[in-house]
């Protein structure tokens, strides 16, 4: 997941007018959420669900951010050894509670990451950043 997140951020940073902040969920806080123009959530899938620290981030920020981040563009990328759909479904449900807007199709990688997966996650990052920069999202 760390490799995927780094590649996503690398792609997003190709858009020169966009400031990219890459943080682990445990290090991210309410200020990070309130000050972003879009959010990408990357999670491994554990036991059919998102990583616990992703859920912790949502728990720590929901009350303060719920009404202040309505319409925030988001995308999810998940790596899974088995399926990955459970993590995406859970994150989508929580994002619906925030009333965020799905900006792009989520990425689900099952098994070992390939070069094609890494290129795609980098492109996903650049696409999200370009969409924010151009006001599409």
CA dist 123 and 53 (Å) reads 25
76-132 pLDDT, tens digit each: 999 998 899 999 999 999 999 999 999 999 999 999 999 999 999 999 999 999 999
Alpha helices by DSSP H, listed for 44-103, are: 52-65, 85-98
pTM of the model: 0.94
pLDDT in tens, 35-86: 999 999 999 999 999 999 999 999 999 999 999 999 999 999 999 988 999 9
Phi, psi of 65 (to 5 degrees): -105, -15
What pLDDT sits at residue 81? 85
In this predicted structure, what is the pLDDT of residue 42?
98
- Cβ atoms of 109 and 80 within 8 Å: the answer is yes
What are the domain boundaries of the chain? 2-128
Contact 54, 19 (CB under 8 A): no
Tokens of 107: 């990425």
- Assigned fold of 2-128: Rossmann fold (3.40.50)
The percentage of residues in the chain with a pLDDT greater than 70, rounded to a whole number, is 100
Helix (H, G, I), strand (E, B), or coil: what is residue 75?
strand
- Looking up tokens 């991210």 gives 28
């Amino acid at each position: 997941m760390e490799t995927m997140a780094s590649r996503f951020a690398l792609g997003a940073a190709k858009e020169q007018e966009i400031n990219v902040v890459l943080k682990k969920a445990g290090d991210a806080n309410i200020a990070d959420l309130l000050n972003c123009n879009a959010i990408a959530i990357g999670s491994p899938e554990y036991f059919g669900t998102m990583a616990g620290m992703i859920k912790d981030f949502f728990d720590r920020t929901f009350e303060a951010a719920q009404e202040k981040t309505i319409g925030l563009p988001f995308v999810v990328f998940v790596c899974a050894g088995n399926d990955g759909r459970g993590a995406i479904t859970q994150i989508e449900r929580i994002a619906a509670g925030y009333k965020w807007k799905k900006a792009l199709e989520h990425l689900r990688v099952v098994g070992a990451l390939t070069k094609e997966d890494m290129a795609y996650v980098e492109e996903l990052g650049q696409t999200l950043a370009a969409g924010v920069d151009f006001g599409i999202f």
